């Protein structure tokens, strides 16, 4: 039997209260998630009584920290169905995508989609790839039929978001992998918004690279991961040089460590890695399936309420994952966000680092409410109350 979807975990998150001690209705989890005490305490221990460097020390504390750091790698890799030697710690999803864009040995054509985050557009441009753009279906999904007709043997890479950070639309990754592989291309998945809200198994999905950030998964900032197939990572040269990524250095010739160390130059984000693993442990203890069902119910509830308002436009498909973008007629999303803030409701308003998607939607910005495992109906009620208040304020200005 499935456990009930409803979760009640606000008390685990010290960030979810205002400075006055009132509930803070945080609906910006897609930007970054609040941190549970378990993560905060794990990081504090790693910075405190457990602190030492990794990989170099000859003393016991450093050896223990090295074991903890590598155990964190194992834990994070297993969370997405991968193996530790396939998982590179990066600064975040952005750096993970940059790593592939710069280091993948054959830079040819890459197929992106209209809904990509800037961090899955600009790295390819900067690294000299020729970018093609796959359109969306009318309800805001990446149009895989269009992708099938656009892909050619010249494409080396397809890079798509698993879940859109604006529309919440989900990609059929297995089908995207089939299409990419049919023309000999590799598939990179930007999993930033998927990993916190959907079960992910990179082997079952059939992708070649998977990028994500810890901070959206209830972990620390400053760390994320690139999962890649071993043979692909082995074929990729390092993209940054320094300590820890070498085998042997001389002035004449330097040889490199195998992956993943090859891609982790310098002292790594040690305490962040410990926090990353603690976040994974926290999420696993609750169950990602349960988190998913909890968010599905919240999305359905909010979409139902907004759907009953004739001055609200919703973007994205009805079954969006954890994210609802919308517009209130006659009110700029920034004004809505500011008025909501006065009522301790935090939403995101803007282009969400997806300007091509805004151009496609024909709007400069959207308002976005996004849920996390700690969100509940009280957050939705506060948002709806704030929308009603905004309507009254704007009605009285224009009336
Ligand atoms: N891709 C998507 C879909 C995102 O939502 C984000 C963060 N907003 C990123 C990539 C970039 O992640 P980060 O800034 O953590 O590197």
Ligand 1 nearest-atom number relative to CA 116: 3
Same domain, 14 and 75: no
- CATH number of the domain encompassing residue 314: 3.90.1150.10
Domain shared by 262 and 306, yes or no: no
Span 275-286, pLDDT tens digits? 999 999 999 999
Please tell me the total count of domains within the chain: 2
Do 184 and 311 lie in a common domain?
no
Query: Are 237 and 262 contained in the same domain?
Result: yes
Nearest C-alpha to atom 6 of ligand 1 is from which residue?
192
Residues 200 and 300 in one domain: no
Q: What is the pLDDT of residue 166?
A: 97
Choose one of 255, 285, 315: the last residue of a domain: 285
Task: Provide the pLDDT for residue 398.
Answer: 56
In a domain, 1, yes or no: no
The yes-or-no verdict on residue 4 having pLDDT over 80 is: no
190's CB contacts (< 8 A; 6+ apart) are 93, 97, 116, 117, 119, 120, 159, 160, 161, 162, 211, 212
> Residue 386 domain-assigned?
yes
**Which of 285, 306, 331 is where one domain is finished?**
285
Question: Is residue 296 one of the residues assigned to a domain?
Answer: yes
This prediction's pTM? 0.97
Domain assignment present for 2: no
Report residues whose beta carbon is within 6 angstroms of any ligand 1 atom: 92-94, 117, 119-120, 161, 165, 190, 192-193, 213, 215, 353
**Is residue 1 pLDDT above 50, yes or no?**
no
Mean pLDDT across 268-274: 98
Does residue 203 sit within a domain? yes
Position 56 scores a pLDDT of 78
How would residue 308 be classed by pLDDT, with cut points 50, 70 and 90?
A: very high
Average pLDDT over residues 300-319: 97
State the CATH number of the domain containing residue 217. 3.40.640.10
Residues 218, 354, single domain; the answer is no
Active site residue 207: no
**170 and 262, same domain (yes or no):** yes
What would the mean pLDDT of 355-371 be, rounded to a whole number?
A: 96
Distance in Å, CA 117 to ligand 1 centroid: 7
**Is there a domain that residue 232 lies in?**
yes
Does residue 74 lie in a domain region?
yes
**Confidence band (pLDDT; 50, 70, 90) for 154?**
very high
Is 2's pLDDT higher than 80?
no
pLDDT digits (tens, 9 = 90+) for 324-351: 999 999 999 999 999 999 999 999 999 9
Shared-domain flag, residues 273 and 296: no
Which of 140, 165, 168, 173 for mutating ligand 1's site (highest number of atoms within 8 Å of CB)?
165
Asked which of 252, 285, 318 is the last residue of a domain, the reply is 285
Do 234 and 115 share a structural domain? yes
Ligand 1 centroid to residue 192 C-alpha, Å: 6
Domain shared by 115 and 95, yes or no: yes
Mutate to test the pocket of ligand 1, among 30, 92, 96, 213 (most ligand atoms within 8 A of CB): 213
Instruction: Looking at the structure, tell me whether residues 328 and 388 fall in a common domain.
Output: yes
Q: Residue 115's domain spans which residues?
A: 39-285
Q: Which of 134, 192, 207, 353 is catalytic?
A: 353
pLDDT (tens digit per residue) in 126-140: 999 999 999 999 999
Q: Is the pLDDT of residue 390 over 70?
A: yes
Token duo for residue 32? 């970054």
Residue 29 has pLDDT above 80, yes or no: yes
Q: Are residues 389 and 370 in the same domain?
A: yes
């Amino acid at each position: 039997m499935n456990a009930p979807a409803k979760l009640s975990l606000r008390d685990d998150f010290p960030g979810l209260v205002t400075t006055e001690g009132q509930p803070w209705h945080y609906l910006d989890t897609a930007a970054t998630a609040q941190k549970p005490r378990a993560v905060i305490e794990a990081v504090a221990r790693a910075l405190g009584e457990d602190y030492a460097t990794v990989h170099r020390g000859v003393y016991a504390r450093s050896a223990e920290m090295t074991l903890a750091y590598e155990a964190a790698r194992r834990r994070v890799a297993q969370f997405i169905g991968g193996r530790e030697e396939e998982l590179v710690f990066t600064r975040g999803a952005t750096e993970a995508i940059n790593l592939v864009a710069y280091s993948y040995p054959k830079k040819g054509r890459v197929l992106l989609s209209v809904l990509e985050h800037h961090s899955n557009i600009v790295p390819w441009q900067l690294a000299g790839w020729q970018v093609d753009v796959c359109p969306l279906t009318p309800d805001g999904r990446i149009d895989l039929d269009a992708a099938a007709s656009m892909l050619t043997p010249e494409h080396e890479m397809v890079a798509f978001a698993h879940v859109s950070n604006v529309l919440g639309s989900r990609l059929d990754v297995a089908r995207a992998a089939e299409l990419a592989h049919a023309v000999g291309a590799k598939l990179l998945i930007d999993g930033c918004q998927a990993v916190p809200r959907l079960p992910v198994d990179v082997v079952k999905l059939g992708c070649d690279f998977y990028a994500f950030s810890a901070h959206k998964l209830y972990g620390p900032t400053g760390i994320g991961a690139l999962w890649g197939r071993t043979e692909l990572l082995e074929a990729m040269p390092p993209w940054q040089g320094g300590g820890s990524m070498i085998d042997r250095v001389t002035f004449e010739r330097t040889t490199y460590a195998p992956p993943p160390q090859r891609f982790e130059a310098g002292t790594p984000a040690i305490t962040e890695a410990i926090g990353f693993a603690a976040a994974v442990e926290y999420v696993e203890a609750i169950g990602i399936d349960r988190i998913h069902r909890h968010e599905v119910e919240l999305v359905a509830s909010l979409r139902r309420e907004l759907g009953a308002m004739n001055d609200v436009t919703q973007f994205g498909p009805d079954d969006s994952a954890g994210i609802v973008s919308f517009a209130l007629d006659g009110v700029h999303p920034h004004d809505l966000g500011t008025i909501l803030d006065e009522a301790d409701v935090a939403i995101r308003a803007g282009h969400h680092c997806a300007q091509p998607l805004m151009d496609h939607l024909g709007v400069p910005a959207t308002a976005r409410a996004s849920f996390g495992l700690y969100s509940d109906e009280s957050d939705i009620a506060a948002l709806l109350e704030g929308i009603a208040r905004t309507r009254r304020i704007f009605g009285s200005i224009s009336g």
